[in-house]
A and B are shown apart, each in its own frame.
Chain A
Amino acid sequence: MTNPKIYDTHFNANEWIVLVAGVIGMVAVLSLPKRFPKKLSIVYFLCGMTFGSGFDLTLGAIPVSFYDVNDRAKVEMMDLMSIWVYGSVSYMFVYVYDILQLNPKWVPFYILVWAVISVGIEWIGAQIGVYHYDNGYGFEISFEIYLAVHTIWVAFFHFMQAVNERTS
Chain B
Amino acid sequence: MQVPICSLIAWLTIALFSFIPKKLTIIQFVFLYCVTLILTTTAYTIFDANLQIVTIPRNTTSSVSTIISRLITVPLLIMAIINALQTKRFTLSRIMALVLWMVLSGFDWLLNQIHVIAYHDWNVCYASMNYLAFIAIAWSFMRWFKKFDEGTV
A interface with B by C-beta (< 8 Å)? 1, 4, 30, 34-43, 46-47, 49-50, 53-54, 57-59, 61-64, 73-75, 80, 83, 160, 163-164, 167
- A75 touching B45, Cβ below 8 Å: yes
Question: B145, A42: Cβ atoms under 8 Å?
Answer: yes
Q: For the complex, would chain A's binding face be called helix, strand, loop or mixed by DSSP majority?
A: helix
B151 engages A37 (CB within 8 Å): yes
CA distance A1 to B51 in the complex (A): 12
Task: Flag if A43 contacts B27 (CB, 8 Å).
Answer: yes
Instruction: Report the minimal beta-carbon distance from A95 to chain B, rounded to whole angstroms.
Output: 11
**A160-B30 in contact (CB<8A):** yes
Task: Give 5 A-B contacts (CB < 8 Å), ordered by A residue.
Answer: A34-B152, A46-B38, A49-B38, A58-B41, A63-B62
Give the residues from 58 to 81 in chain B that come closer than 8 angstroms, CB to CB, to chain A: 58-60, 62-63, 66-67, 70-71
Interface residues on B, range: 35 or more
- The count of A-to-B residue pairs whose CB atoms sit within 8 angstroms is 97
Cβ of B50 within 8 Å of any chain A Cβ, yes or no, is yes
- Tell whether, in the assembled complex, residue B34 and residue A75 are in contact, meaning their CB atoms are under 8 Å apart: no
Q: Which of A39, A41, A58, A74 contacts B70 (CB 8 A)?
A: A58
| A residues near B145, Cβ cutoff 8 Å | 39, 42
**Which residues from chain B sit less than 8 Å from chain A, CB to CB?**
25-27, 30-31, 33-35, 37-38, 41-42, 44-46, 49-50, 52, 55-56, 58-60, 62-63, 66-67, 70-71, 145, 148-153
In the bound assembly, the distance between CA atoms of A8 and B41 in angstroms comes to 24
Asked if A163 and B27 make an inter-chain contact with CB atoms under 8 angstroms apart, the answer reads: yes
Find out whether the CB atom of B67 lies under 8 angstroms from the CB atom of A36.
no
Would B37 and A54 count as touching, CB distance under 8 A? yes
In the bound complex, residues from chain B placing their C-beta under 8 Å from that of A83 are 38, 42
Among B38, B50, B71, B152, the residue within 8 A (CB) of A36 is B152
CA distance A133 to B99 in the complex (A): 43
What A residues does B150 contact at CB under 8 A? 37-38
Of residues A37, A61, A63, which shows the largest number of chain B Cβ atoms within 10 Å of its Cβ? A63
A49 to B26 alpha-carbon distance, docked (Å): 19
Q: Which residue on chain A has the smallest CB distance to residue B120?
A: A1
**Contacting pair A46 B58 (CB below 8 A):** no
A159–B108 Cα gap in the complex (Å)? Answer: 33
Which residue from chain B places its CB closest to the CB of A91 in the assembled complex?
A: B153
